[in-house]
Copies of this chain bind each other. A is one copy, B any other.
C-alpha cells in the first residue's frame, strides 16, 4: 500500500472556459495524476480543482497549475464575490491513504518555497503548515485581499517565502496542509427550515457544538424540505457517524425524522471505514482489512 496525497487548489478564474480548460490540461499533463473534480463559479469568478496521486506527482501537478494560472490570470482586472489574495489563491495538500499530515506539511512548504523562487511570488503557509498562530486561519491571511496587500506586506503580512513585494498580476499565494474535508447534507422529514437552522446552530463548532463541524440550515424546494448542510473539517476529531447521530438525536427530540444523507463530491476511504466500523461496532476497521486497499498504488 503506497501513499496518496490530494490537492485542492482554488484559482481566481471562474468565467473564461478556455482559460480554465488550459489549467485543467496543465494538471492532467503530469503523468500519474488523477483530476477527480473541477468546479467553476462565475459569480465568485473562481475555480476549484481536485486532484490526487503519489506525493511527488501531486507536487509536480501543483507546479504545472501555478505556471498555467499565472499565464491566464491578471488580478488587476479580476472581479468576483469571493475574497482572494492571489491568482492561485490557496493550495491545500491533504493526506489520504498511506500518507501523513507531516508529509503534507513538508510538501506544502517545499512547494511554497519553490513557487516563491520560480515566480518571485510572496507565499504564506497556513493551516497545519503555518509557522505562526496568526497564519493558521485562511481568512486572517486573506483579509487585505489583492488590492490591500501592498499596504501591509512589510508589516503584518511579511510572507513566509518569497519577496515582500506583491506580484503585479498574481498577487500572492497561500499554501498549506489540512485534513480531508467532507461536505455532507442531511435531509429532514419536515419543511420547517427553523428545525434545520436550530440543529445546525446546536452542532456547529462556532456556536459551541461539535469540534471541526461547520453547519447551516437550508430550505429545499420540490419537495419542500429542511436540510442540515455540514462541512466535516477533520473526521478524526468529529466523525461522520457522530455528526449523523447528533443531527438524528436532535431532530427526533423535536419529533422530526431524518430522511436521507447526501455526500457532495468525494470522501476519503478512512472516513467511510469509520462509519462502517461504528455501525458494526468494530474496535476499528483499518485499511488493510479491505482487500482492494492493498492495491492502492
Q: Is the CB of A295 within 8 A of B4?
A: yes
Selected interface stretch from A17-25, A102-110, A278-286: A278-286
In A192-213, the 8 Å CB interface with B consists of none
Q: Is the CB of B269 within 8 A of A34?
A: no
CA distance A61 to B69 in the complex (A): 48
CB of A132 within 8 Å of the partner chain = no
Q: Is A293 an interface residue when CB atoms closer than 8 A count as contact? A: yes
Q: Which residues of B contact A289 (CB under 8 A)?
A: 263, 265-267
Task: Determine the chain B residues whose CB is within 8 A of the CB of A273 once the complex forms.
Answer: 272, 276
Secondary structure class of chain A's binding surface, majority of residues: mixed
Complex contact A97–B292 (CB within 8 A): yes
Q: When the two chains form the complex, which single residue of B6, B265, B268, B281 contacts A259, counting CB atoms closer than 8 Å?
A: B281
Extra contacts besides A267-B290, A269-B293, A275-B280 (9): CB < 8 Å: A4-B295, A263-B285, A266-B289, A267-B291, A272-B272, A276-B276, A276-B279, A278-B279, A297-B297
A136 within 8 A of B: no
| Closest chain B residue, CB of each to CB of A269 | B292
Does A76 lie at the interface of the complex (its beta carbon under 8 Å from any beta carbon of B)? no
Within 40-58 of A, Cβ neighbours of B (below 8 Å) are at 52-53
In the bound complex, do residue A96 and residue B278 qualify as a contact, i.e. CB atoms below 8 Å apart?
Answer: no
Sampled A-B contacts (7; CB under 8 Å): A4-B291, A4-B292, A244-B280, A260-B281, A260-B282, A269-B290, A275-B275
Q: List the number of copies, as a whole number.
A: 2
B258, A281: Cβ atoms closer than 8 Å: yes
Q: Which residues of B contact A66 (CB under 8 A)?
A: none
Q: Which of A244, A280, A292 has most B Cβ within 10 Å?
A: A292
Interface residues of A (CB under 8 A from B): 4, 6, 34, 36, 52-53, 96-97, 180, 184, 240-241, 244, 258-263, 265-269, 272-273, 275-276, 278-283, 285, 289-297
CA distance A241 to B273 in the complex (A): 14
CA distance in complex: A263, B259 (Å)? 29
By a CB distance below 8 angstroms, the chain B residues around A244 are 279-280
Q: How far is the CA of A245 from the CA of B225 in the complex (A)?
A: 28
Which residues of chain B are near A290, meaning CB under 8 Å?
266-269, 272
* B292 and A295 form a contact (CB under 8 A): no
